[in-house]
Amino acid sequence: MQELLVISGKGGTGKTSIVAALAALAEDKVLADCDVDAADLHLLLRPEVESVNEFYGSSKAVIEAGRCTGCGRCIEVCRFGAITKAAPVAGGENSASGSRGSIVQVDSLSCEGCGVCTMMCPAGAITMKPNLAGYWYISETPYGPLVHAQLGLAEDNSGKLVTKVRQEARRLAEENKARLIITDGPPGIGCPVISSLTGVTLALVVTEPTVAGWHDLERVVKLAGHFKVPVTVCINKYDLAPEKSREIEAYCYDEGLTIAGKIPFDADVARALVNAVPLTACSRGAAANAVKAMWDSLLVRMEKIKMQ
Ligand SMILES: Nc1ncnc2c1ncn2[C@@H]1O[C@H](COP(=O)(O)OP(=O)(O)OP(=O)(O)O)[C@@H](O)[C@H]1O
Ligand code: SF4
Ligand code: SF4
């Protein structure tokens, strides 16, 4: 089974439009959306959710009020400042007249789950509880099964959730005897991108002819090189700045990178997005044709990688 990852570094280069367009062309595949912070592939593929699954990130400290003596030791040892004194409750056991002193509270957004407070609490009042950090889904789309996810607001662990999405996509692909996984990668070059890059067959980096697009292409190429992932490049909207496109092509040539495709600016791409249909399923225009040609070249490249 092979895995094609589509990434871009910066947002807005057209990565999601291109993944959806490829999804409508490819056969025998499973789709994965690893942009777990702002998944949007499903907007174009109109999935019917078949299963909703909880995702637990790192554990968070929870204080058992009945056991807490209010000694404040946990406040001292938490280097993330996640534990503070709770406001006194009138007439409660942490009120001025109460016999048990101030009760403390954990800010779960600041708690990093290190567990130090549980070891230092003399009353054994703190335990670590798994934290529901998001959900992952298996859905059916007109273009094949899709694994996607949504991380909760302000939650970290996006790398872990990306790994989960990839694991499930592989499991599903094996179950369905699919030959390919097409993955919409997360933006940037941080932890989620690393989690989505490792071990893929080929990374298609979508760039655009702007200074920022080129800069991010370079960063992603370096990252992929570090993980020994083969890279090929798509220059989207290349005709908007032909000179910059030529510079990017020259850079690719110098780095030994192939250009899988050059997609022109085409109003059909925006129309496809508005109508929530993959470009290649609704257009015979210039961009759709260029994506089809790119798909052919990607198939050839992946076949070559298989033979190596
Ligand atoms: N070749 C093209 N011609 C015209 N418009 C395009 C083209 N490619 C992308 N666009 C437009 O650029 C915008 C961004 O596209 P898209 O959402 O696919 O990018 P993205 O990289 O996935 O963005 P994000 O990172 O925000 O998810 C959309 O409005 C889309 O219609
Ligand atoms: S260390 Fe334990 S007993 Fe002391 S304030 Fe914290 S939770 Fe309460
Ligand atoms: S688990 Fe670590 S970060 Fe969380 S409250 Fe305890 S000491 Fe602070």
Long-range CB contacts (within 8 A, 24+) of 288-292: 288/21, 290/261, 290/262, 290/263, 290/264, 291/18, 291/21, 291/22, 291/25, 291/261, 291/263, 292/25
| Ligand 1 mutation pick, 7, 15, 17, 283, max ligand atoms within 8 A of CB | 17
Residues 6+ apart with CB under 8 A from 57: 131, 133, 134, 155, 156, 157, 160, 161
Q: If you measure from the C-alpha of residue 88 to the centroid of ligand 2, how many angstroms do you get, rounded to a whole number?
A: 15
Interface predicted TM-score of the whole assembly (ipTM), two decimals = 0.84
**Ligand 3 pocket mutation pick from 77, 83, 118, 119 by most atoms within 8 angstroms of CB:** 83
Q: Could you tell me the end-to-end alpha-carbon distance of the chain, in angstroms, rounded to an integer?
A: 14
Check residue 9 and give its pLDDT.
Answer: 81
Q: Give nearest CA residue, ligand 2 atom 4.
A: 71
Strand 231-236 and strand 258-263: pairing?
Answer: parallel
**DSSP strand pairing (144-151 vs 29-33):** parallel
Low-confidence ranges of the chain (pLDDT < 50): 94-99, 101
11 Cβ partners below 8 Å, 6+ apart?
A: 187
Q: Which of 308, 236, 231 is nearest to 21 (CA)?
A: 236
H helices present in the chain, as ranges: 15-23, 41-45, 73-77, 116-120, 158-175, 191-197, 211-226, 242-255, 267-274, 279-282, 286-307
Distance in angstroms (rounded) separating the CA atoms of residues 246 and 99: 76
- Cα Rg, the chain, nearest whole Å: 24
- State which amino acid sits at residue 165: V
* Maximum distance among all Cα pairs of the chain, rounded to whole angstroms: 78
Which protein residue has the closest C-alpha to ligand 2 atom 2?
121
Residue owning the nearest CA to atom 10 of ligand 1: 14
The two tokens of residue 85 are: 């004194």
pLDDT of residue 191: 86
Predicted local confidence at residue 208, as pLDDT: 95
Sign for the CA dihedral angle at 129, 164, 37, 140 comes to: negative
User: What dihedral do alpha carbons 173, 41, 7, 252 form, nearest 10°?
Assistant: 110
How many A from CA of 187 to the centre of ligand 1? 13
CA 292 to each of CA 23, 168, 265, 284: distance values in angstroms, whole numbers, following the listed order: 11, 28, 15, 10
Closest CA to 131 of 155, 164, 162, 153: 155
Residue-level pLDDT at 192:
86
Ligand 2 binding pocket, CB closer than 6 Å: 63, 68-74, 104, 121, 123, 125-126
Query: Among 249, 206, 198, which Cα is nearest to 224's?
Result: 198
Six token digits for residue 138? 């298996």
Domains of the chain in sequence order: 2-46+142-307 (3.40.50.300), 58-131 (3.30.70.3270)
Atom of ligand 1 nearest to the CA of 11: 25
